Structures are given as C-alpha cells and as structure tokens.
Structure 1
Amino acid sequence: MDFVEKTVNKELIYKGNITEYWVEKVLLPNGKKADREIVKHDGAVAIMPFTADGKMVFVKQFRKAIEKTILEIPAGKIDATDKEPAETGKRELEEETGFRAARFELETSFYTSPGFTNELVYIYRAEGLTKVDQPLAQDEDEFIEILTLSFEEAWEAYEQQLIIDSKTVFALFYWKLTRQTKN
C-alpha cells in the first residue's frame, strides 16, 4: 500500500519568528480528503557538553509553554545565516554556557513530533571544553543558569521531573547507555 498523502491545497495561517502554521488539505491513500495542521520549523541543534571530569553542562531556564523551570542541554534554532547545523551548535554552546569545544561530533538527529511539525533536532557531543574570556552574548530574552552535573545528579533531576524535554531526556539516556558500554 502507498501511504503517501498528496497535498491538494495549502494555506499559511500564521508566520512567526520561529515557526509557520499551515493547514494542508491532503488526498488520503483511500481517496478521501483530510486536513493536516502543520507547524514548519527551520530545525534546531542541541549539545551534550562533557567536562574533563565526566560531568555534563546543563542550562536551567523557565519555559512559558509548560509554565515550568527545567534543566536542559544547551540548544538553539538553526538560523538562516548558518551554513550547517554544527555552526549553530558551536554558537549556541558558547552563547548559553560560555564554553567552546575542541571536539564537536554529531551523534544523531530526530524529528521532535512528526505528527504535526517538521522540526528536526541535531544532537552533538562536545568535549575538550574551554571557558571563553568574552563569550558570544546570550539572546536578550534568555535568562539561564549554568549547572554542571554528574550522571547521578542528572538522573536525580530526571526523577524529580526537572529534566523533561525530549532532547535532554535523549541526552540523559544516551549518557546512561555510553556509561554501561564502558563498564
């Protein structure tokens, strides 16, 4: 069976600074029509920054959409000026944490919720961190605190539901998996 849904018509409902909202009328494989509400996003990059002593750097910030302060790995939206996701990641790492990394490697990428958005997040591992004397400035609407946590401390934050977003939960389970393979 062919599962492809052919777009018959699409309408831009709203264009914001980060996302666009579309309603697409599609032709289903069975010949019927349906509406699909789609959020278009340029994508994002998240970084798992590891310190020399094996800890991970997190940012603590308030997230209005869920009305909660949470811990996250550093991350940011891919800008039109970025030539590749690694460029976004390196910039965001420095802006949010004040660190640069000697090693910056792509681990994976994933779609956050393909049922309604095309947002693709790239996850990088950063090692060999050095503090920058005059780092790139944070976004002016960004208020964050930097935390460096051991695996046990991060896992406790997860159990306390301070780590709850998909990219950071992924990073935590990735960290757990890599610790198990080393033992």
Structure 2
Amino acid sequence: MKSLEEKTIKTEPIFSGRIIRLQVDEVELPNGNTSTREIVKHPGAVAVIPITSDNKIVMVEQYRKPMEKVLVEIPAGKLEKGEEPAYTAVRELEEETGYESQSLEWLISFYTSPGFADEIVHLYVAKGLVKKENAASLDEDEFVNVLEVTLEEAIEFVREQRVYDAKTAYAIQYLQLQEALKK
C-alpha cells in the first residue's frame, strides 16, 4: 500500500494570537512533488453535555462574531497550557453554567476541521449537577445566557439553525441515540 504521508520541508509562522497560531508549511507529497499547507494550530478544547436530574440539557446561548449571530451550544472552552481535559471540562462547566457535576464521563475526542486545523475537542457527559453558590465567573469578554432544554427542544434548535456547530450537533445526536437504545 502506498504511503499517504506528507513530509514537512519548511514551516513559516504567519500569526500568533491569544487562541490560535497560523503557519504555512511546504510539504513533500507522496509522489515527490511539493505543495503548501495553511495550518491553524490550536491548543485543543473540551465540550460538556450537562444533564440535569430531570433530564434536561444545560446549554449556553452566545454571540459568535465569526458567524455574526447568536448560537446555542453545549458548554465548551479551550485547554489552558498544562491542563488535563477533564479539569478543563469541570472548569468550563462551572464558569459557563454555574454547575458542578458529581459524575463526569469522557465520551470521545475528535478533530474539528482536519483539513486545515489541528484542534481536537474532548467531549464529556456531566451528571449529578449541583448549582454552585460561589461559581467561577465567565471570562471578562464572555457573555452567555444559560438554558435548560429538553432533548426535543434541542433538536428543534438544530432545525431552526440556532444550534449550528458540530460539537453541539454531535452531542444532540449522541443523546438521541441513547434514547433510541433505551426503547
């Protein structure tokens, strides 16, 4: 079987920001030719599917500047340097929703856009939610509305394109599958 690997010849850093870095790599292709790849480097992220005792999904409504619209999403956030994903999940759940969980279970990790970015998202399910009295607060540039919705309402948000991101759509499909397997 022919190798599909591309070998990096040269990397040119283009931009380094607070969240991402952008670089252009010159690569040698499997056939010996060369090409360039524009790559977004990201520290990784977590996303949490918080489920209340009455089986509601805790979601956040947030303005997303790249799309110029308000989206409904599951709580999520980027990994800080040296942070374990489970720790980030606990932190983000508390910061964005005010909840802590008695049970946190890793579900899956996946790449968001492997054609141009190395971002990986670690997805967790949080149960046994308890509202925290002195919960950690949001970042100073972050504003959200916390929603508690049924699975049916979340599915309707997908139809209405209020849920429009892959991690949240994946989470809703996972919950739909869990419901179907119970029947």
Place the TM-score, normalised by the shorter chain, in its bin: over 0.9
- CA deviations 1:42-100 (Å, max 9, x no partner) are 00000000000111000000000011101000000000141x10000000000000000
Aligned to 1:47: 48
Aligned counterparts of 1:55 and 1:181: Cα–Cα separation in 2: 18
User: What's the secondary structure of 1:164's corresponding residue?
Assistant: coil
Point out where structure 1 has 5 or more consecutive residues left out of the alignment: none
% identical aligned pairs: 47
Aligned to 1:36: 37
Aligned counterparts of 1:90 and 1:99: Cα–Cα separation in 2: 9
Aligned counterparts of 2:156 and 2:166: Cα–Cα separation in 1: 17
Aligned to 2:139: 139
Aligned to 1:119: 119
Aligned counterparts of 1:155 and 1:21: Cα–Cα separation in 2: 35
- CA deviations 1:14-53 (Å, max 9, x no partner) are 0000000000000000010000000000000000000001
Shift of 1:178: 0.3
Aligned counterparts of 1:142 and 1:80: Cα–Cα separation in 2: 20
Q: Please tell me whether residue 153 in structure 1 is matched to residue 163 in structure 2.
A: no
Aligned counterparts of 1:158 and 1:175: Cα–Cα separation in 2: 13
- TM-score, with structure 1 as normaliser: 0.99
Aligned counterparts of 2:64 and 2:55: Cα–Cα separation in 1: 27
Point out where structure 2 has 5 or more consecutive residues left out of the alignment: none
Aligned to 1:60: 61
The AA in structure 1 aligned to 2:172 is L
Q: Report how many residues are paired.
A: 182
The AA in structure 2 aligned to 1:9 is K
Task: Spell out structure 1 runs of 4+ moving beyond 6 A.
Answer: none
Aligned counterparts of 2:128 and 2:176: Cα–Cα separation in 1: 20
Aligned to 1:169: 169
Aligned counterparts of 1:42 and 1:18: Cα–Cα separation in 2: 8
The AA in structure 2 aligned to 1:23 is V
- TM-score, with structure 2 as normaliser: 0.99
Aligned counterparts of 2:4 and 2:117: Cα–Cα separation in 1: 18
The AA in structure 1 aligned to 2:110 is F
